[in-house]
A and B are shown apart, each in its own frame.
Chain A
Amino acid sequence: GAVVSQHPSRVICKSGTSVKIECRSLDFQATTMFWYRQFPKQSLMLMATSNEGSKATYEQGVEKDKFLINHASLTLSTLTVTSAHPEDSSFYICSARGSQETQYFGPGTRLLVL
């Protein structure tokens, strides 16, 4: 099946710094990528949808200036958590969708803000 990678898998940063997370579709072109956030023992919450070459669409309650999403190519989307704070600590997961309906998920990135 299709493979989606995320980098880094784990990151620890100081409060106030910015962190970039990459999501890549390795063997297909992803016209749409999705970013989710998962809290411990809770479900995945969709943060935003990004289409290649256009601005991301954010879900209600998600700060677009804090969570910057770039989808510059058909195989790469990035999520930048700007001026991170401890409450941003979470598990961030991306998914990618190509020509078919099925979404393929990355393994996730665990962010810890000290």
Chain B
Amino acid sequence: GDSVTQMEGPVTLSEEAFLTINCTYTATGYPSLFWYVQYPGEGLQLLLKATKADDKGSNKGFEATYRKETTSFHLEKGSVQVSDSAVYFCALTRSGNTGKLIFGQGTTLQVKP
């Protein structure tokens, strides 16, 4: 079945460091890919998405490129801030689906000043 695998956390970085959180997926067809972020005490928020191969999603300085050849959707940010500390979830939904999301296990990011 469809699945999403994320790198294990927690990831601890200093402010202004470069961030990469790896995400790979297994799915039939052409899924849409998402990154969600969950700040402490809050619900999940959509960070960015890509709906077809080679699309790049971007938001708030974060980027991820849909790579069909490597079935990956790695999240990157050039310079993290303390306020980026949160749990990040990679997810997919299959094309033509009712909207059911399949999530990775989540990666906790902690940014220290």
Instruction: State the A residues within 8 Å of B (CB).
Output: 1, 4, 6, 32, 34, 41-44, 46, 49, 93, 95, 97, 101-108
B46: chain A residues at CB < 8 Å are: 102-103
B55 nearest CB across to chain A (Å) = 14
Instruction: State the B residues within 8 Å of A (CB).
Output: 4, 32, 36, 41-46, 89, 98-106
* Contact status B98-A43, CB under 8 Å: no
* Contact status B99-A42, CB under 8 Å: no
Pick from B4, B36, B42, B101: contact of A46, CB below 8 A: B101
B11 nearest CB across to chain A (Å) = 14
B32 nearest CB across to chain A (Å) = 8
Query: With A42-B105, A43-B103, A43-B104 in contact, do A49 and B43 touch (Cβ < 8 Å)?
Result: no
In the bound assembly, the distance between CA atoms of A93 and B104 in angstroms comes to 16
In the bound assembly, the distance between CA atoms of A114 and B42 in angstroms comes to 25
* Contact status B42-A107, CB under 8 Å: yes
In the bound assembly, the distance between CA atoms of A106 and B46 in angstroms comes to 12
Residue in B4, B46, B104 whose Cβ sees the most chain A Cβ within 10 Å: B46
Pick from A43, A49, A108: contact of B100, CB below 8 A: A49
In the bound assembly, the distance between CA atoms of A6 and B36 in angstroms comes to 19
Chain B residue nearest in CB terms to A1: B45
In the bound assembly, the distance between CA atoms of A102 and B34 in angstroms comes to 10
In the bound assembly, the distance between CA atoms of A55 and B59 in angstroms comes to 36
* Contact status A49-B98, CB under 8 Å: yes
* Contact status B44-A93, CB under 8 Å: yes
* Contact status A34-B43, CB under 8 Å: no
Given A95-B44, A105-B43, 18 further pairs, Cβ under 8 A: A6-B43, A32-B98, A34-B101, A43-B4, A43-B105, A44-B103, A46-B100, A46-B101, A46-B102, A49-B99, A49-B100, A97-B99, A101-B99, A102-B46, A103-B99, A103-B101, A107-B41, A107-B43
Chain B residue nearest in CB terms to A94: B43
A63 nearest CB across to chain B (Å) = 19
* Contact status A34-B99, CB under 8 Å: yes
B36: chain A residues at CB < 8 Å are: 105
